[in-house]
Amino acid sequence: MQIPGDVLAVLTDDRTIISGDRVQIPFHLDDLLYMRVNRMLVDVGGRWDGRKAVRAHVFPFHVESFLTACLAAGEWPSTYDRAWYPSPPPVVHEVLEHAGIQPGTTVLEPSAGTGSIAGPATGRGGIVDCVEIDTRRVQALRKQGAARSVTEGDFLDLDPLAVETGYRLVVMNPPFATAIEHVMHALGFMADDGTLVAVMPEYITWHTDRATREFRELIARADGEIKPLPDNSFKVSGTQMRTVLVILDGEPGGPLPTHGWLQRQPRQLDLFAIA
Ligand SMILES: C[S@@+](CC[C@H](N)C(=O)[O-])C[C@H]1O[C@@H](n2cnc3c(N)ncnc32)[C@H](O)[C@@H]1O
């Protein structure tokens, strides 16, 4: 949902304090504007606590980083908004711990949102390229300035072979509804000995449709790992969807359809044609 301009102005005002689990607006708003600000903060999960010692909207979670991402994008998540569920800090920590970024590591974040993963990945020394389909989030990413490049567009339309070499790391939290498609496509951007760490919906562990079964088989053949994330990991971002981390380590000649694997395909087809 887009944050109305006047509400955004209040929340980004230098005098507004967004810290820990609360938001304090220590200046006067007219009734109508107050109602609009209040409506958004309540929608995000806050509750007005009028006690003299508090006088703030208090949230049942650490709202600071989440609200900062919302204000940067000028919106807050709604189910209909291209499934923007920013990764909360504990999830980002988990992703990056498994990714093991070294200074200078090339990293792809192919559904980057406002940079909840990409920013800290750069902070750990990664050289990060981002892709994001939503214009406002692209603007927020560019403003964040953490990524080496930000491509606006549909990641699924990008050709993996348009990049010269595969990325050492792919870190991602793709839209849940098309998560398998996104992860399979992302493997084509990964170096043969690279690593992919993806946040995915927990139902990939038990759905029985063909695509999900084949995906699980691929994970097993590649000795990949599926690690449950704690329940309600994304509650602060507006969804109770259960999630897992999928960790895939490539190896030259291994079963994953990596960048090198894709590059080898035309030659194999040529050989086949000669035979
Ligand atoms: C679940 S959010 C996660 C955002 C970010 N990765 C994070 O962890 O905070 C998914 C993001 O993917 C973006 N997205 C959806 N479909 C996309 C596509 N086809 N290509 C690129 N980005 C896409 C959405 O706009 C949204 O920002």
Please tell me the distance between residue 132's alpha carbon and the centre of ligand 1 in angstroms.
6
Q: What is the spatial distance between Cα 275 and Cα 267, in angstroms, rounded to a whole number?
A: 12
Q: What is the pLDDT of residues 79-124, one digit of tens each?
A: 446 678 899 999 999 999 999 999 999 999 999 999 999 999 999 9
Q: Hey, whose CA ends up nearest to atom 8 of ligand 1?
A: 87
Q: Please answer whether residues 154 and 212 qualify as being in contact, where contact means their C-beta atoms are separated by less than 8 angstroms.
A: no
Q: Please answer whether residues 88 and 66 qualify as being in contact, where contact means their C-beta atoms are separated by less than 8 angstroms.
A: yes
201 & 255 share domain: yes
Q: What is the pLDDT of residues 162-184, one digit of tens each?
A: 999 999 999 999 998 889 999 99
Q: What is the pLDDT of residues 9-35, one digit of tens each?
A: 999 999 999 998 899 999 999 999 999
pLDDT at 132: 95
19 & 102 share domain: no
Residue that finishes a domain, picked among 73, 97, 119:
73
234 & 155 share domain: yes
Instruction: Give the total number of structural domains in the chain.
Output: 2
Domain span holding position 40:
5-73
138 & 238 share domain: yes
In this structure, the residues whose C-beta lies within 6 A of any atom of ligand 1 are 82-87, 111-113, 116-117, 131-134, 137, 154-156, 173-175
152 & 196 share domain: yes
Q: Please answer whether residues 69 and 44 qualify as being in contact, where contact means their C-beta atoms are separated by less than 8 angstroms.
A: no
Best residue among 75, 76, 132, 233 to mutate for probing ligand 1's pocket (most ligand atoms within 8 Å of CB) is 132
Please tell me the distance between residue 151's alpha carbon and the centre of ligand 1 in angstroms.
12
62 & 113 share domain: no
Atom of ligand 1 nearest to the CA of 178: 16
33 & 145 share domain: no
Q: Hey, whose CA ends up nearest to atom 18 of ligand 1?
A: 154
16 & 133 share domain: no
Q: Could you tell me if residue 187 is inside a domain?
A: yes
Atom of ligand 1 nearest to the CA of 109: 6
Residue that finishes a domain, picked among 19, 40, 73:
73
Q: Sign (positive/negative) of CA torsion 215, 216, 218, 223? A: positive
145 & 53 share domain: no
Residue that finishes a domain, picked among 49, 73, 97:
73
CATH number at residue 178: 3.40.50.150
| DSSP-derived 3-state class of residue 50 | coil
Q: Hey, whose CA ends up nearest to atom 2 of ligand 1?
A: 84
